[in-house]
Amino acid sequence: MGRAINKLSAKGVEALNTPGWQGDGGGLWLRITEKGAKRWVFIWKLDKRRHEMGLGPLASVVTQTP
């Protein structure tokens, strides 16, 4: 069985405020800093080494629908 993805909803992400890492599945993580800033990070392993790629702050990634 594969890993679950899309574990975080838009409303759930907005409500989160505890500093730390929240996994959405498939290598996508939401990082919440001590000051409350939220940013998306993609994490993967290649040749037994961990790599991270920042995808941007929550405000620039989340789109709101009317």
Give per-residue pLDDT as tens, 20-47: 999 999 999 999 999 999 999 999 999 9
How far, in Å, CA of 24 to CA of 31, rounded?
11
Q: How confident is the model at residue 5 (pLDDT cuts 50, 70, 90)?
A: confident
How far, in Å, CA of 62 to CA of 55, rounded?
11
**CB 26 within 8 Å of CB 3:** yes
pLDDT of residue 3 exceeding 80: no
Taking the whole predicted model, whether its pTM rises above 0.75 is answered as: yes
Q: In the chain, where are the structural domains located?
A: 19-61
How far, in Å, CA of 48 to CA of 59, rounded?
32
Output the CATH code of domain 19-61.
Answer: 3.30.160.390
Give the bridge partners for 54, in sequence order. Answer: 41
In the prediction, which pLDDT does 65 show?
54
